[in-house]
Amino acid sequence: MAKSYTGYVDQMADKYGVPRAHVRAIYENETASGKNVRSSSAGAQGHMQLMPSTAKEMGVADISDPYQNIEGGVKYYAKMLKKFGDPVVAAAAYNAGPGNVSKYGGIPPFAETKNYVRKFVKLVGAEDLMGEPSTEVVMSQKKEAPPEVAMAAAPVSLAPQASPEDVASQFSAIMATLGKGAKKTKRDKLIGLLSGI
């Protein structure tokens, strides 16, 4: 994260009542690969990659101003978190739009959104995401394109005091819905975090 904005990102998280780790993960996702210096192909702009209509809705007068852009992005994430009640689904809505999350009944089956959610979970950390008891992660059953692209549904209950066996089972369900690619060492580390070891 750009050091010059870290304090401001945290300040906005506090202002809008959302966990700093969530906002930092959104910020990191959006500023990756230097996207913050130009518009995306979809038209999103600035540090938090706000669409002009979203920026306007969030009261951002100058989308190119980093401070206004960051505040608008944090305010929008807070709105998505309030609407969907789940940080992972809120991150998906931030990326793909709340309409797509509603349409697909959970995380949309778009490759970009699945990657975004994976990175969000990795950046926030399983321990922070488990702070809310009985968090359910619902993956869409609807299909966007070819069947192999669609995600299977896998509601997962992440209880704070889960046993290592339950956590391993839950982790496998999450990874099955998000796709393959996690290394065994990362898997074991996440299982350890989830089980409180």
Q: Which residues are catalytic?
A: 30
CA–CA separation, 98 and 103 (whole Å):
8
Question: Which residues, at least 6 apart from 48, have a Cβ–Cβ distance to it below 8 Å?
Answer: 26, 27, 30, 69, 70, 72, 73, 74, 76
CA–CA separation, 81 and 173 (whole Å):
23
Look at the chain and count its residues: 197
CA–CA separation, 115 and 151 (whole Å):
13
In the chain, what is the greatest distance between 2 CA atoms, to the nearest angstrom? 51
Residue 44, both tokens? 């999103």
CA–CA separation, 109 and 94 (whole Å):
14
